Amino acid sequence: MLAAAVHLEMGAGMARRDVLVVGAGPAGSLAAREIARLGGSVLLVDRAEFPRWKVCGACLSAGALEVLESVGLGEIPGALRAEPLETLVLSAGKRRVRLPLHGARAVSRSAFDRALLDAACESGVEFWSGARAQLGATDLEYRHVHVSRESERVEVRARVVLDATGLGRGLTPARGENGTVRAGSRIGLGAVLSDSTYPVAPGDLHMVVAPAGYVGLVRDESGDLNVAAAVDPSALHGTRPDRVITSILSSCGLEPPRGSVVSAWQGTPALTRSPAEVAGERLFRLGDASGYVEPFTGEGMCWAMSSAVAVAPLALAGADHWEASLTAAWSAHHAAALRTARRLCRVLTPALRRPWLVQGALATLQVVPGLATPFVRRAARPPETSLAYSA
């Protein structure tokens, strides 16, 4: 019935909703679900067909699990058989140290994103896959968005639009401003491999640091090996992604994985970036679309879902009655909620470009591993999700 309803409405060439959410990753799907649960009519669109895989470390931190519990979705990791993570293995040069992890789990993005999308649809959200969106103008009541799907083009009139499109250009007008990329930003690489013999045990998260970048390796719920890296763009000149990964692993005395490819190598745009604005007229950006830093601590999904929970009541208030103070409220909340959360990543980013510094830190941790405990606990803490706003 959903497919038929979508077809008839799209055939009419126009749709109206309280909220349009563009992007069905963790931020978009969870925000759509929360708004629908609060009583709003929500249309969620994504240009991909699901299930789909994305470059990601595949880790749900303790903070991410806490966010899921807070919205009644705490059963999802268990239902997906997400692998509990108990040990962080850090390697740089000839140094290697094992540190305890607390409460994290590993799960493939294809399974996790699909579970959140299903939860959104079960709460009354309409979903259009294979749909590309372009931001249009605003009038007194709506933000206009042009959505193309197959051979049809629909003008969606939404009282509020959420940009959850992730890294990259973002949801902008045809020639709109798409923000800035930090100089020297690394890019992401990733793949999923079937290699049961590779020495990464279930429950271990390996992080390997080298001059060209760093690589994370973890086994997901199926036992496959998820490989995700942040590398200097120059390292890819004239070579393939798998060879860059091999070079980084080899610098620490590790062999490359040799299993068959389950999900092919993909890349991302520059990782450290900020949008031109995190909020505009009848528009909020959330998740990776609201800005991103290199995710060595594995907090990307936690940040995304925290922002989804926070924006839901604000979006619903804007759908009821839009005023400029909503833009200011979201901008202020975004800055305050993620300032501390992303500070650790900003401190680590320059250090990771100095492997000798990392090796020195590992040498110290080999002697006194407890020194890492405050950092591990801080990385696992979710950002503040409550938002103070009064009309």
Over the stretch 238-248, which tens digit does the pLDDT of each residue have? 999 999 999 99
> What pLDDT, on the 0 to 100 scale, is given for residue 134?
93
How far from 49 is each of 110, 113, 212, CA to CA, in Å?
Answer: 11, 12, 33
Residue written as token pair 């019935």: 1
Nearest to 118 by CA among 224, 12, 33: 33
Residue 5: pLDDT band with limits 50, 70, 90: very low
Q: Which two tokens stand for residue 81?
A: 């058989």
User: Under 8 Å CB-to-CB from 92, ≥6 apart: which residues?
Assistant: 208, 209, 210, 252, 355, 358, 359, 362
> What pLDDT, on the 0 to 100 scale, is given for residue 180?
76
Top-tier CATH class for 190-270: alpha beta
Domain residue spans of the chain: 2-83+107-182+272-352+374-379, 190-270
> What pLDDT, on the 0 to 100 scale, is given for residue 340?
60
> What pLDDT, on the 0 to 100 scale, is given for residue 376?
60
Q: Are 283 and 324 in contact (CB under 8 A)?
A: no
Query: Do 190-270 and 2-83+107-182+272-352+374-379 fall under one CATH topology?
Result: no
> What pLDDT, on the 0 to 100 scale, is given for residue 269?
85
Level-2 CATH architecture, domain 2-83+107-182+272-352+374-379: 3-Layer(bba) Sandwich (3.50)
pLDDT above 70 for 380: no
Cα(216)–Cα(239) distance, rounded to whole angstroms?
A: 20
